Amino acid sequence: MKNKKFITLGFSCITVAAALLFSSALSAESSIKDAEASRLEALSKFTKVVNIVEQYNVDDVTIEELMDKALDGMMKNLDAHSNYLTQKDYKRLKVQTNGEFGGLGITVGMKDGALTVISPIDGTPADKAGLKAGDIILKINDESTLNMTIDEAVAIMRGKVGDPIDITIVRKGEAKPINVHIVRGNITIESVHAKVINNDILYIRVASFDKKVAEDVTKEINKRKASTKGIILDLRNNPGGLLDQAVALVDIFVDSGAIVSQKGRSAAENKVFTATKSSTLTNVPLVVLINGGSASASEIVSGAIQDHKRGVLIGEKTFGKGSVQVVLPITETEAIKLTIARYYLPSGRTIQAVGVTPDITVLPGEVTTHENDFAIKEADLKKHLEEELEKVEPKKGKDKEEKKVNKDIITPEMLNKDIQLKEAADVIRALIITKG
């Protein structure tokens, strides 16, 4: 009798389980059908609107024009960096940015819906005209930038070398918009520059992340490795560039662990980039300079170094662009630029719209110095020990020939003109002393 009960109970459980599975299958099938019906309904609505506009719009509009406008509007409304590339736009995008072209030498992005200067490139017409990171561009040649895409703005700003252009900007701290007149020039990007401070601090300026950044930085470090006790890496006004170069640059200073991770909607877009001990060149004290013009790849480098506690970050909060875009062709002559993932730093924190906060905040400017003309020292006394002084500081020759300025050296006067760099030099000196 007991066995019969167990058999009956077991059969009931199997029946219930089968019923639940069948119900779950029906529910899944129903969800698929609902999703498909919703999709067809949405496409039907879109087709209906296109037909109505084509038939009744006050101006004659072809179906091709309507589709281009629809695609353009859809991509713009996804995010600030996604957009539809017409044949003309796609052709512009293929221009090699690491070559020479006629333009202003400025990198722009969308911030809070406004066309914003991420950074002017060193030594370019935009840099010489005084454009700064954070400037909001209101007009380009009297044309409003409202609802203008980044690619459209870049297309207007690029042009024939020698042709003038007028930019109207809004700058923080200024009561009125500023008009800036710029003459287009040949834009040649030199990404890596190196100098020395006091013969033992290596200063490396990375202006943008092109395909040779890691190679060039490696050369500069190896060239002065014997005498270098500390390194200042300047990423101010660096708008970013190639991800692999950002990863390779961090790898020069960090010997293990994650550098950056990329996470998207699709698992295929999820990647983790890690440091390798074999690629690490140096463990000397490191300071990284950043500001509001440091974006994308610059934020990956500075954020990774901060998370690994490998160096000290000095300057201002970065721009906050931590998304990944790809260009996907839809025909032979047209494409879409789509955001497919976001970057995350080793600690898991995001860069997007947040940026990287420096360890020591220092605003730009010059060092204010005051000389005390009334201070009296031993050397000013009438009978100070001149012979003893000569032993350590021989008399200078009478010839007053001017010394040639060494372009590879940053002098104390230069440091005083850049308070952020001066702070970086002081911090690195303290780290060198501490390390011994």
Residues with active-site annotation: 296, 307, 321
Angle between helices 63-76 and 2-56 (to 10 degrees): 120
Tell me the angle at which helices 213-223 and 243-253 cross, rounded to the nearest 10 degrees: 20
Q: How many angstroms from the chain centroid is the CA of residue 130?
A: 20
Measured distance CA(160)–CA(299) in Å, rounded: 33
Determine the Cα–Cα distance for residues 84 and 334; give it in Å rounded to an integer: 8
Give the bridge partners for 116, in sequence order.
Answer: 109, 136
Cβ–Cβ < 8 Å for 185, 124: yes
Give the integer Cα–Cα distance in Å for 170 and 69: 30
- What phi and psi values does residue 186 have, to the nearest 5 degrees? -70, 125
Q: Do the strands 201-206 and 230-234 form a parallel or antiparallel pair, or are they unpaired?
A: parallel
Closest CA to 278 of 258, 260, 245, 251: 251
Q: For residues 305 and 31, give the distance between their C-alpha atoms in angstroms, rounded to a whole number.
A: 47
- With b for 16 or more beta-carbon neighbours within 10 A and e for fewer, the 334-372 pattern comes to bbbbbbbbbbbbbeeebbeeebbebeeebeeeeeeeeee
In sequence order, which ranges of 277-385 are alpha helices (DSSP H)? 297-307
From first CA to last CA, the distance across the chain in angstroms is 88
What is the largest distance, in Å, between two alpha-carbon atoms of the chain? 124
Packed helices 297-307 and 243-253: angle between N→C axes, nearest 10 degrees: 30
CB 161 within 8 A of CB 185: yes
Asked if residues 336 and 75 have their Cβ atoms less than 8 Å apart, the reply is yes
Closest CA to 323 of 343, 301, 298: 343
Closest CA to 251 of 215, 217, 216, 277: 277
d(CA 227, CA 408): 14
